[in-house]
Amino acid sequence: MSPDGYWTHGYDMGAAAVEGMFSPALCAYCQGVYDLGKVEVLARYTDCSVWKSPCCGITVDDRGETGWKSKRDYYPLDRDGREIQRGAR
């Protein structure tokens, strides 16, 4: 577990997997890669947004990013396709 309390996995999907994406993310359920900039947001709340993952159709929210809950629904990736480990550096 990383210092910020998240499980991190050091995912490295490769630059080709995220090519052309605005804000790539790795699905925590099916390991699919999709673009956060293109998801269809189902609902926006003051503390989170909710969308359906285009890879496996699971309802996802971003509370895992803000620390509201300990499990993430997705892992943000950088332009090289590597997991961004927030708070760990």
Residues within the interface to Zn ion (CB under 5 A): 27, 29-30, 32, 53, 55-56
- Output 2 or 59, the one with its CB closest to Zn ion: 59
Q: Taking the complex as a whole, how short is the minimal distance between the CB of residue 34 and Zn ion, in angstroms? A: 8
Q: Taking the complex as a whole, how short is the minimal distance between the CB of residue 68 and Zn ion, in angstroms? A: 20
Query: Is the Cα dihedral 55, 30, 1, 78 positive or negative?
Result: negative
Q: Taking the complex as a whole, how short is the minimal distance between the CB of residue 3 and Zn ion, in angstroms? A: 27
